[in-house]
Structure formats: C-alpha cells, structure tokens
Amino acid sequence: MGKTEKLPAINNKILLIPAVELAEKIRKRQLSCEEIMKAYVERAKSVHPFVNTAVDERYEEAIKDAKEVDKFLASGVKSEEDIAKETPLLGVPFSCKETIGITGMKQTSGLVRSKDHTAERDGGAAEMYRKAGAIPFIVTDVPELCMWWESSNHVNGLTKNPYDNTRTVGGSSGGEGAAITAASSIIGIGNDIAGSIRIPASFCGIYGHKPSRDIVPNWGMFPYCEMKTEKEDRTIDFVSTGPMCRYVQDLPLLLKALSGNDERLKLDTKVNFKNVKLYYIEEYPGILNAAVPDVKKSIKTAVKHFSDEYGIQATPLICPELQYAFYIWESKLLEHDGPPFQFYLKGQNGKINMWLELFKSIIRSSEHTLPAIYFGIVDRRKKDEFYQFCLEKYKVIERKFKEIFEEDAVLLVPTHPEPPPHYLMTIPMYPNIAYTCIFNILGYPSTQIPAGLSSGAPIGIQAVSGPFKDHLSLATAAELDKVFSGWISPCPVDV
C-alpha cells in the first residue's frame, strides 16, 4: 500500500467511531468529551511528523473546551433531545482548512508575506460548526494561495500522502484530506473552487461534498473569494464550502450543520432510487483527459450495482464539449473580471516578475512555489476568440445538463482520472481538474466517494445531482459505500 511504513498504527478505538456516533455517545455520557479530544490530540501529534498536516493547533484550549462540555452535560441543564436538536455536534473535534478563519489561529494561505497573519474571527463555515457544538483543534495545510491541487508552500512545507509519501495529497484542502484519512481528525471543512474538496478527498480515500451554490457561508476566508475590480466587488459564485469526513453517515449531519439546516436541500428526504435517473461518464473526451482502467472499472461497478439492486438502466452521457472543461472554467473565472493571480502573489502595492520568479525558483531563492509561479505565468487574461469559443461551449453544456437534471437524476463520473500523481507531476497534468471544475461553474452539488485503491493509492468517483438536490448525491454516496466499503486505513489498525 505504498510507502507508509513510518505512519503510526491506529491504536485507540475512539478514532474509528463516526462523528454521528461520537456525538450521541457524548450526549449520553457514554464517552467523555475530554477523552475523545485527548485521543485526537495525541493522534494528531503522532501523525504530524510523518505527513505534515497541522500548521497550527489549539490543543490545550480544545481540551479545556471539552472539559466544559462534560461539565455542562453533568449539570443536566438541557435534555438529551434538546441537545441533539440544538447542538447536534456537541463536543466533536474538528479540523479546518487554514484558509477558513479560526479565531487566533494561523491564516496565511501558504503565502510568505502573510506568514504571521492570524484570523481575527471565525470564518462563516467554522462558525456554523461551532454553533452546532463542534470544537476546533487544528488547522491544516494548503497550496500557496490555494490555487493548485498539491498542498505545498514555503511557510508550512509539503503535506505528504499517508498512503504513499511520494504522492500528492491534492489540494487545495490537502491538509484536511491527509489529517482525516490518517485518523488525526474525524471531520473537517474544505472549500472548493475547482475541485479543492473533492480532489484531496479522492487522493486521500475519504468523503467530501461540494454543496449546491450559496448554501454554506464563504466569508472569512483568505484569499478572499471577493474579486475586486474598479467597477464593483464581485463574489465568485462557483466557490463552495463543504464537509470532509471518513464515514459516509456523517455527511448529512455535517451539511445540515454547515448550512444551518437549509430546507432547500431536503436532507431528510428518503430517496427511492427506482425513481431516479442514472447517467454516467467513464472518462472525458480528449487525449489529456483519459482515465486509467481502475477508474473506469469503478464507474462500471457502480452502474452495475444500481442495475442489480434497483433495475436502473444507466445512460452513458455523451458530451464532447467536456474536452474543453478546464478552459471553460478558466474563461468563466475571467468573466468575473477579477485581478490576475499575480495580484494576490505580489499584494496590492507590490510588484512581481513571474519569469524572474521562475528563474529564482530553479536556484531555490524564490519565496513562491513552482506551481504558483506556473499558474501566474499561464493565467490567461485575454478575452479573445478562444475565450468566446469556451463561453459558447459552456452554454451547450449548461443546456444539456439543465435538461438532464430537471428530473431527479444522478451522474456518476470520475473525481480524477488516475490515482494521486507524484509530486510536481500535477503541473503537466493540470487539465485533469476538468473532471471536477465543470460542476463548480454549473453550481451543482457533487459528492466524492472513495472507490478503492489503484497501485496502492486511492481513487474516487463523484455523484453529481441537480441544484439543491444534494440529498440525491449524498444518498448515492451512502449506497455506493456498500459496494466500495468506504475509507481504507493507510496504516495498521491495532485496537
């Protein structure tokens, strides 16, 4: 299973209990919040030297918070039923992507010039978890400015994949993916502009959900999702914040907590798959987007399950325009008239020469990472003929998908066409984010589902559903958990 010899074994049963069960055991006082928090603090400390996930911690404060929860429960002030309703995650530890503010903790986004920046308040998503009773204890690593799918920067270093230390964890929520799969966190928060929840969740063999547009608050993040222009401030409407976790049964509760139990999502609706139309894509068209056999096999296995169990005849989705998906995403980003990526690298009053930074990177004297420099160079800023071509292709995709998802429907598609690449190989493979980024543009919910291992490393598939039909993609994930068995530990389990 790759190069994981040094990763410590999981030796505490608490680390293997889903969050929904932990919360119930805390409410019933079958487990103390303090012992749960101490188990995760100990695990985070033991795992960090091998994979470099936690970039800041509040271990002592989190244990104090846990003790306060235990005192509150012992007081009997509220009934178990009221606690479950008002604070359903009471006492459950959570990790958080470093870009989402946790008061007083690092919030650098891996940018050297911001290395001393700390969050002045909780970001919107973290605030929602806290309102549900969860307790933050670590924040986790990201790529520089979160604009790549490999979690490395010159502030906090490289996060390594727990399954194989030579492979990337993905990004930009890569630290979350690594922490959760290594059992040094049970639930987390990521955000997703092009696949930043789903790609690391796939590369780390866990679950991740990109919600429907405007469901979970995005404020309180760095870099900010507001794109400032001379005319107006605009928010990129394809940024989504969502949950990441090891166990599929946790997803509905986590999404309820993050969304404030938004009724538009119908998360308590039971799904009868006999009334759901199923579509699938084994791989996107185009040479650069080809999927490896194990990934295509996982799609076939999922399709067969729904046929065998529910008599559903899945329809292959033919959409040649998807070969341009990455470039369409780029064009839609440009359509928002936001400043170039270089603006965020240099700061509002600074200057930067990307070609000089490339040379400095070669001689290891740049404060920027190679992927960030590369993205700064290739970031298109021209609204040329190709830009218009891409926007026209998007209209075709939008019409086709709107027609499909007017009914209750689910699309199965690879999260990524191969297992996690080795370090820096994400640069020549950058168009592969096409598999995820198209659903950010469309605003559709998408759940990453672990689908086993290929060459000792995780692979995954997405269940995509229509706007505000997140319950369909989550139900599909729960169904396919029976097929693929969900999370596979990257290290020995000795309990």
To the query of whether residue 331 is one of the catalytic residues in this protein, the response is no
Tokens representing residue 202 in the block:
């796939």
CA distance 479 to 483: 7
Q: Which residues of 262-292 are buried (b: 16+ CB within 10 A; e: fewer)?
A: beebebeeebebeebbbbbbbbbeeeebebb
CA distance 113 to 89: 36
Query: Among 196, 202, 331, 473, which one carries the catalytic annotation?
Result: 196
Quick one: CA torsion of 103, 109, 110, 116, rounded to 10 degrees?
-40
Q: Which residue has the tokens 């490999």?
A: 150
To the query of whether residue 97 is one of the catalytic residues in this protein, the response is yes
SS3 of 188-220: the string is: EEEEECCCCCHHHHHHCCCEEEECCCCCCCCCC
Quick one: CA torsion of 380, 386, 387, 388, rounded to 10 degrees?
170
* Helices 251-259 & 124-131 angle (0-180, nearest 10): 110
SS3 (DSSP) at 395 = helix
CB 146 within 8 Å of CB 99: yes
Sign of the dihedral defined by the CA atoms of residues 376, 379, 383, 385, in that order: positive
Query: Among 172, 366, 446, 473, which one carries the catalytic annotation?
Result: 172
To the query of whether residue 151 is one of the catalytic residues in this protein, the response is no
Distances (CA, A) of 455 to 25, 175, 294, 486: 38, 22, 9, 17
CA distance 402 to 406: 6
Query: Among 97, 106, 160, 393, which one carries the catalytic annotation?
Result: 97
Residue type, position 79, single letter: S
Catalytic site positions: 97, 172, 196
